[in-house]
Amino acid sequence: MRQTIQPRSGTAFTIKKGELLKVIDPEGEQVADLYAFNEHDKEEFISSGRSLDYNESIQFKKSSKLYSNRSNVMFEIVEDTVEDHDFLLTPCSVDTFKHFYPDEAPVPGCHGNLVAAFSEFDIPEHHVCTTFNTFMNVEVDSAGKIAVLPPKSKAGDYTVFEAKMDMIVGLTACSAGESNNFRYKPIQFEILPANTL
């Protein structure tokens, strides 16, 4: 069953080993921040640093694996119509808005939305670190400068993540203007049984 995450909001849910998480951008140019914990040991969580290290690339696409802080594979990307995501930057938050948009009223952002969603699973705020930012278009130039550009995802584009362990997963429709070409859109997702691709 396809579920919808309303603009600038987030949710959390469980997924079992072998199941597939399909994250869909229904309108295009919308980022979805993804974070995950081992369902049976919440001290194990997704790790940008481990994933960048073992992936030996900042580009993630089909066959890329997302690792935990304990170096176990949490997800493998098994289908991907976009192949342009970010795993460098933290989710937007009240502090992000204060830093980058000091004249705007701050909103909870993906960090706040994830913290609220994970609180249902008794996960504390400080365990929500750098997210896998599905469809986020971040470029690093030859001088190391980071630029956040409009996502390359078009309406209906999707990425499918195969769960490699039982997990509690958080997912958002991102709240930051620059990341989403300054229009806030929904995200959709489905959890598919194992071996249904």
Binding site for its own copies (CB under 8 A): 43-45, 47-50, 52-59, 69-71, 88-90, 93, 95-96, 98-99, 124-126, 129-130, 140, 142-146
Cβ distance to its own copies smaller for residue 144 or 193: 144
Look-up: residue for tokens 């830093």? 99
Cβ distance to its own copies smaller for residue 58 or 116: 58
Rounded to whole angstroms, the Cα distance separating 112 from 12 reads: 13
Residues whose CB falls within 8 Å of the CB of residue 128, separated by 6 or more in sequence, listed in order: 35, 91, 111, 114, 115, 118, 170
Decide: 2 and 161 in contact? Cβ < 8 Å: no
CB of 55 to its own copies, least distance (A): 8
Cβ distance to its own copies smaller for residue 26 or 152: 152
Rounded to whole angstroms, the Cα distance separating 136 from 140 reads: 13
CB of 113 to its own copies, least distance (A): 16
CB of 6 to its own copies, least distance (A): 25
